[in-house]
Chains A and B, each alone.
Chain A
């Protein structure tokens, strides 16, 4: 289990709380009474098979889907009904799974977009986590590899020091070496930012997570926060 640096000035109160959230696409309900909580600096994983509702959960937290019922609070503020850009400005950012950056903009321009919105121009924190990006500043996003795009998306998202990052399947389709690099990045990020990661790579999840939610057919079937219980074979029992 990852050891976390004591977070100075942060208490143990939950920073993100999802209670009884139900989400539907038109008449088709896809998420049923979802409950989730995240503390500052915590790494929370959502695992489940394809179509279980994990991305729907993240999108509803990020403001892209409006729940039909339930509450989502972030830093004591109600998120339901807020526009996605408002949620992002509040310090909760969503990194989608499609690994698409702005293809006609360079890496530098992609980062500038992240900086301008947050007024955070300290790119050292990005290049420290992803040194590869330093040499790619003038390359257009469309010419980056999958791993490089994922680095750019995460790097862009951490500008402004968000309190929570929602990361959707970050290692999907990536080479093992990149996955290993991302594992270290997430451990580093979790010192200052809470992470909610949707993943199907159970070994990665079990290595970095403080808490795991198993999602099945639109329901959170279990919450595992016990250190010893977060193991691949236990996670698999619920999938």
Chain B
């Protein structure tokens, strides 16, 4: 029982704090943080655990969002089904493109994903405008039916749903970290040749990681779609390609709670600073430069060993 608690306590504490934060914050802000954290989690996993930087996360966000939107606009009304279909779309697309993309070196990987984001943007804006309605977007809030227990059409209920989904997702990533597969992901990032010596195929490991990360991103896209009741190509605009990477680095790449911390910091600064400073992005940029020069660990990456040392009173080299 104690061991189970030890495994869970971090997740419970993090989400308890998030729940407490919700009491003091506006609902839209809280929903934005949850969804953005999920969006960033995929990028953080790819960058921090597998060593792949991707500037194409908006592509998979759009796949998830449009997968959900097409269902809710043209075919059905149940938002839960829409979310499942959005995740499925993300799984299928990432499985197909990932088989090619993960064979590339890290710098080419970053660019090919960016290219995919541009392709999907133009597909949704121009090429498939007849079904996506181009820049006007797809509006389906009125199409969504009420769902029992938690009515996803209501922002307060949506928050509870997204909160539970996020908690389940973080549990999954924590579990993944503790498995052999999690060790393989880190090992392929550290030294892929060494992993070959042991009999592992780096391609299989990276492909699976790519699918997991981008299915997570597609989930975020689906949640955005259901929350807003609307999807437009702006969700995958190339200008937003760096957003998840920025938040990943801000929070701490590869850490479990870095995406949450980064999302709170980024969204908070965007909301707060923009009231006082017109060019709030300048402040974010300066903060990123500082983080890079200070050791690249990000906010949570820096705080985590300090907190662990304070709570457990262990030397950090033993962890």
Contacts and interface: CB of A to CB of B under 8 A. Distances in A.
A96 B193 contact: yes
B186 A94 contact: no
Contact of A118 (B183, B197, B199): B199
A231 interface: no
Interface string A116-128: 1110000000000
A88 B186 contact: no
B200 interface: yes
Contacts of A83: 196, 201
A64 B196 CA distance: 9
B254 to A, nearest CB: 9
A55 B140 CA distance: 64
Interface in A68-91: 83-85, 88-89
B194 interface: yes
A112 B197 contact: no
Contacts of B184: 113
B3 interface: no
A117 B190 contact: no
B279 interface: no
A156 interface: yes
A114 B200 CA distance: 10
Nearest to B254: A104
Given A116-B180, A138-B318, A143-B317, A88 B187 contact: no
Q: Which of B183, B184, B197, B201 has the most CB of A within 10 A?
A: B197
Contacts of A63: 196
Given A104-B190, A143-B317, A85 B201 contact: yes
A102 interface: yes
Contacts of B193: 64, 84, 96
B198 interface: yes
Q: By DSSP majority rule, is chain B's interface helix, strand, loop, or mixed?
A: helix
Nearest to A93: B197
Nearest to A101: B194
Contacts of B197: 62, 84, 88, 93-96, 157
A159 to B, nearest CB: 9
A88 B186 CA distance: 20
A105 interface: yes
B199 A100 contact: no
A172 interface: no
Nearest to B197: A94
B198 A114 contact: yes
A88 B194 contact: no
Contacts of A101: 194
A103 interface: yes
Contacts of B187: 102, 105, 113
Given A105-B183, A105-B187, A113-B183, A156 B196 contact: no
Given A85-B196, A117-B198, A140 B317 contact: yes
A90 B95 CA distance: 29
A84 B317 CA distance: 33
A183 interface: no
Nearest to A166: B197
Contacts of B183: 102, 105, 109, 112-113
A191 interface: no
Given A96-B193, A102-B191, A117 B317 contact: no
Interface in B159-212: 180, 183-184, 186-187, 190-191, 193-201
B317 A88 contact: no
A96 B186 CA distance: 19
A130 B300 CA distance: 37
B194 A117 contact: no
B200 A85 contact: yes
A113 B198 contact: yes
Interface string B284-319: 000000000000000000000000000000000110
A98 B199 CA distance: 18
Contact of B199 (A103, A117, A140): A117
B199 to A, nearest CB: 4
A19 B180 CA distance: 38
B180 A102 contact: no
A96 B201 CA distance: 18
Contacts of A94: 197
Contacts of B186: 102, 104-105
A117 B200 contact: yes
A104 B187 CA distance: 8
Given A116-B180, A138-B318, A100 B194 contact: yes
A101 B195 CA distance: 10
Given A112-B183, A140-B317, A143-B317, A103 B190 contact: yes
9 contacts: A88-B196, A94-B197, A102-B187, A104-B190, A105-B190, A112-B180, A113-B184, A116-B180, A140-B317
Closest 8 CB pairs of A and B: A88-B199, A84-B196, A117-B199, A89-B199, A116-B180, A102-B187, A85-B196, A109-B183
Given A85-B198, A100-B191, A143-B317, 17 more contacts: A83-B196, A83-B201, A84-B197, A89-B199, A94-B197, A95-B197, A96-B193, A101-B194, A102-B183, A112-B183, A113-B180, A113-B184, A113-B200, A116-B180, A117-B200, A118-B199, A157-B198
